[in-house]
Amino acid sequence: MLQILYRDDRLIAIHKPAGLLVHRTVLDRHETRFAVQLLRDQIGQRVYPVHRLDKGTSGALLFALDKDAGREMSWQFERQQVDKRYLAVVRGHTDDAGHIDHPLNRRPDDLEWIGETMETAPQPAVTDYRTLARAELPIMVERYPTSRYSLLELTPQTGRRHQLRRHLKHIAHPIIGDSTYGKGRHNRMFADELDCRRMLLACVEMRLTLPDGGPLLLRCPLERDFSALLSRLGWLDAVGAAGIESTI
C-alpha cells in the first residue's frame, strides 16, 4: 500500500519508496511493479505522472487525476516553477554551503530508445546545497584509516536528468548507494558495516501551484531504512532542525 501524502479532485501525491520505478522503462524490462500501476489499482482510477524520481530515490511523487491537470502540472516542472528540497548522504566532508553551476549533457528519458548515443549540447544545470551534519567513521575504505561523510540539503534550480547525482559526482562528493555515479567501495561499506543497501537520496519537500492557482506544500517523511542510517550516524537532530520528518 502506497502512502498518500495529499489528494484532491485533480491531484494525488504519494511517498515513493526507494527501489520502485515510476513507470515501465526499457532499462528495467524485468521489473513488474511500477508506481503508476500500484497507485491506479489502489485508488481505482487512472493516474498521470507529472514528473519523475529515479528508481533508487524515495520521496514525494506527484500524479494528476486527469489529462488537463497532468499537462498543467508537467508544464510547471518543465519550466522550473516547482521548488524541490532533497536530503542526501555523500562521501567526504563538504563545505558549509555550495553553489554548483555545471552544465550537463542531456540523458535519454526512460521511455526513449537508447540503442544509439544521444549527442546534445550541454544544458545549464544549477544545484545549491547546505551541509546539515558531518561524521568521521573509524573504518578504512580507501587509503585513510577513517572515512568521512556529510548530510546535505539539496535544492536543484534546474531539472536535468540525474542532476543531483551527477553534480555531486562532479564536486567529488558522490551520493552513497549510487551505483552509477557513486563509489563502489563506500557503497559496499555502508551495506556491510551499516546495513544500508539503498541510494541515500530522498525528495522531502515540494512547493508548487495547484491548477486553481493556490499554493501547495508537500512534505514527505524519510523511509525507515534512511532514518535508521541517520540515527546510527547521530544525525536525527540535524534532520529535525531542518524541518524534515523522520520515521524513527
Q: Is 239 helix (H, G, I), strand (E, B) or coil?
A: helix
**Mean pLDDT, range 230-236, rounded to an integer:** 97
186 vs 174: CA distance, rounded Å: 10
Residue range 66-81: mean pLDDT, rounded: 96
Quote the distance between the C-alpha of residue 70 and its chain's center: 21
- Measured CA to CA in angstroms, residue 168 lies from 38, 48, 213, 214, 233 at distances of 31, 30, 34, 34, 21
For 151-202, write each residue's pLDDT tens digit: 999 999 999 999 999 999 999 999 999 999 999 999 999 999 999 999 999 9
**Catalytic sites, residue numbers:** 54
Per-residue pLDDT, 30: 62
Find the Cα–Cα–Cα–Cα dihedral 202, 216, 4, 131, rounded to 10°.
20
* Architecture per CATH, 3-241: 2-Layer Sandwich (3.30)
- What is the amino acid identity at position 226? F
Q: Residue 111 burial by CB count (10 A; 0-12/13-18/19+): exposed, middle or buried?
A: exposed
What are the boundaries of each domain within the chain? 3-241
Confidence of residue 215 (pLDDT cuts 50, 70, 90): very high
Average pLDDT over residues 58-72: 97
Q: Reply yes or no on whether the pLDDT at 227 is more than 80.
A: yes
The predicted pLDDT at position 248 comes to 60
Range of weakest confidence among 5-19, 38-52, 116-130, 173-187:
116-130
Tell me the three cell numbers of residue 93: 566532508
Strand partners, 176: none
Q: Which is nearest to 86 in space by CA: 155, 171, 21, 19? A: 155
Contacts of 231 (CB under 8 A, 6+ apart): 246, 248
What percent of the chain shows pLDDT beyond 90?
87
